[in-house]
Amino acid sequence: MVRRPLIFAAALMALMLAAPVAGFDSARAAKPVPDTVSSSVVLIDAKTGNVLYERDMHAIKYPASLTKIMTGLLSLENLELDRVVTIDAETPFTKGSRIYLLEGEQVTVEQLLYALMIESANDAAVALAKEISGTEENFAALMNRRAKELGALHTNFVNPNGLENDGHVTTAYDMAVIAAAAMRNPEFRKAVITYPYTLYQTNMQETRYFYNGNRLLYDENHTVIYEEKTRPIKYADATGIKTGYTAQAGNCLAASAERGDMELIAVMMQAEGMGAYLDAISLFEYGFDNYASHMAAGAGAPQGELRVKNGSVKTVAVAVKEDTWITMPASASPTLLTAEPSLPEHLDAPVAEGQSVGTMRILLDGEELGVCEIVASESVPLGGPLSRLGITDRTAGLLKKVFFSVLAVCLLLLIAYVLLRRRQIKKRKQRRDERRARLAEEERKDAEFRRNRLG
């Protein structure tokens, strides 16, 4: 049977064969690649999307009720949970698994979501589809657009519930991508890990009880043979997601499990009996034993500054855009990781906050494990005329203040000088007038003296 684990396996084996170094557990043996029995399988790291194991993951298969993962995701993206949906005349006649909704019955989006994901209700899927898009056909178009956005490129949905249709197809890989996106929604996670759910009395029906069909969450009675030992199907680390079955599709399972910082998603298509559960357990144990998720850089982690040409300031701080996780061999120490930034020498103003300015590669022994996007931490508008001379707007503003301060001082000095000159001129004129008055008085007295003497 052909098995193709991720290329990381090669790096893992190389590390384990190398001489022990700090951070490596040389006494621990890697769990071997599992021998899966489902027709098509894939195991991915939910945080990074890295494929850790696959067998015919791109083979075209029928998804059955795994379809409802996309229906649930779109319901959460387009509807409020407390929105009340009134069931139309056609929905109650949906075929297959259902909760027997009635025409005119009023239920909330949240109740329909839990019926969809726990009871696998086809009529709930139709009700949600119509509430979002008006018709099942329009909703299928929305499903396909969203699938392409997520990178599920070999998927074609024609209905919201997975009822048999030759044109309703997907792949194990595509379903894993869709499931990973859905599990990033807290309300979706809450729904798919719920085992019992109560849909309380509506305007037309009594209270109903639903029980999750995913045996990984609860089943301690049924068993599988794993590593030559009998063990229950219940998996302690399971966090969801969805089962599916039609005669056309066989048994299908999209399963998730979380241990520590790592969450794995396994998708099994076209299995027989309990084979999908055995594969899920085998894949999870393989993934958790051999790999680890590590946050290589957190959102907002500073990455220095870049020079800004013609900006209001000379530099701008740059940082990691979002949390960047990588998948690495479980035996490898994060201290062995190296970062290789790729940033320009400068930026041209204006610069917008959040603008992508470069990347940073995360490497392990020269192998790229992930890439961080680096963005500007703040906006830098286009600077004033002096920015072309390398003078920032702040400096230009200070220069402007200094200029006008000096100008004001000069003006005050000029005014003081003028006032002083006017005062000096006034005093000179006053002194001249006083001298003239004294001379005139002396001349008058002298003339009077002469007259008196001659008389």
DSSP line for 289-338: HHEEEEEEE-TT-EEEEEEEETBSSSEEEEEE-S-EEEEEETTS-GGGEE
Which CATH superfamily does the domain covering 31-291 fall into?
A: DD-peptidase/beta-lactamase superfamily (3.40.710.10)
Give how far the C-alpha of residue 244 lies from the chain's centroid of Cα atoms, to the nearest Å: 29
Fold of 298-388: Peptidoglycan synthesis regulatory factor (PBP3), Domain 2 (2.60.410)
Instruction: Name the residue with higher pLDDT: 443 or 173.
Output: 173
Reading the block at residue 296, the tokens are 């290589």
Indicate left, alpha or beta for 433 from its phi (over 0: left) and psi (-120 to 50: alpha): alpha
* Mean pLDDT, the chain, integer: 89
Judged against a pLDDT cut of 80, whether residue 25 lies above it is answered with no
Quick check: helix, strand or coil at residue 384?
coil
How far, in Å, CA of 162 to CA of 168, rounded?
7
Judged against a pLDDT cut of 60, whether residue 13 lies above it is answered with no
**Model confidence at 12, in pLDDT bands (50, 70, 90)?**
very low
Please compute the mean of the pLDDT values over residues 428-443 and round it to a whole number: 84
Assess contact for 83 and 105: CB atoms under 8 A.
no
Instruction: Name the residue with higher pLDDT: 211 or 427.
Output: 211
**Model confidence at 440, in pLDDT bands (50, 70, 90)?**
confident
Judged against a pLDDT cut of 80, whether residue 134 lies above it is answered with yes
The pLDDT > 70 percentage for the chain reads 90
- The full set of domain ranges for the chain reads 31-291, 298-388, 393-454
**Model confidence at 152, in pLDDT bands (50, 70, 90)?**
very high
pLDDT at 24: 29
**Model confidence at 439, in pLDDT bands (50, 70, 90)?**
confident
pLDDT at 403: 72
Please compute the mean of the pLDDT values over residues 36-59 and round it to a whole number: 97
pLDDT at 299: 94
How far, in Å, CA of 228 to CA of 345, rounded?
60
Judged against a pLDDT cut of 90, whether residue 54 lies above it is answered with yes
Judged against a pLDDT cut of 80, whether residue 400 lies above it is answered with no
**Model confidence at 1, in pLDDT bands (50, 70, 90)?**
very low
Judged against a pLDDT cut of 50, whether residue 425 lies above it is answered with yes
Quick: pLDDT tens for 344-381: 999 999 999 999 999 999 999 888 999 999 999 999 99
Residue 180 phi, psi (nearest 5): -65, -40
**Model confidence at 411, in pLDDT bands (50, 70, 90)?**
confident
How many Cβ atoms from other residues are within 10 Å of residue 315's Cβ? 15
